[in-house]
Amino acid sequence: MKTDEKTYFYLTDLWQQLCEEHALLFNITCDEYLFLLDSDLESIEKIVEEKNIVIERIARLENIRKDYLKDLNSTLKDSEKINSNSDLLKFLGKSVIEKEQKHFARFNILLVNIIGKIKKQNKRNQIFLRKVMISLSDWKKEAFGEKNFQIYTASGNTVEQP
């Protein structure tokens, strides 16, 4: 097997692993949202631990990717160096296997889509948590008999209540 083929298969396998781990992270993030909606604190704690483990595995794969590309770049001419994802797609696109089957390109598209979905779901989770924090703050103020309103300036900043 040629070095180019080894590189192609190695990177394609790595991208497949990244897709699998990111898909798992997406599922965990969706579960986290459901547990937030249910106010199931015990399950939230467990799912956050699980999420951190998956994030650690993704970080390890990312380090492997960086190291491999660094080693690969050391064997390439300056004009062929891989500095971005599009450079990597061009480099692997020269492979006969990629030209025929496009496995790497498909995994790359899938990975980008999954990461986009994770970002959207994380944003939903953050919005939900912000709403909860605002509600808790309002309840706390009401419980202590404080006024439950804020005064805003023209620039949108809050002003000390009189």
Torsion angle of the four alpha carbons 95, 100, 104, 110, in this order, in degrees rounded to the nearest 10: 160
Around Cβ 119, how many Cβ atoms within 10 Å? Answer: 12
Name the pairing type of β-strands 158-159 and 151-152.
antiparallel
User: What integer pLDDT is reported at residue 121 of this predicted model?
Assistant: 96
Q: Which pTM was predicted? A: 0.80
- pLDDT tens column, 78-113: 888 999 999 999 999 888 888 888 999 999 999 999
Torsion angle of the four alpha carbons 84, 87, 93, 98, in this order, in degrees rounded to the nearest 10: -20
Q: Are 2 and 10 in contact (CB under 8 A)?
A: no
Q: Is the pLDDT of residue 42 over 80?
A: yes
pLDDT confidence tier of residue 71, bands split at 50, 70 and 90: very high
- pLDDT tens column, 2-34: 668 899 999 999 999 999 999 999 999 999 999
DSSP, collapsed to helix, strand or coil, labels residue 159 as strand
What homologous superfamily is domain 3-159 in, according to CATH? FlgN-like (1.20.58.300)
Backbone angles phi and psi of 151, in degrees to 5 = -105, 135
Residue 45, token pair as written in the block: 């704690």
Q: Are 107 and 15 in contact (CB under 8 A)?
A: yes
Exposed, middle or buried, 31 (CB in 10 Å: 0-12/13-18/19+)?
A: middle
User: What integer pLDDT is reported at residue 145 of this predicted model?
Assistant: 74
Show me where the domains of the chain are located: 3-159
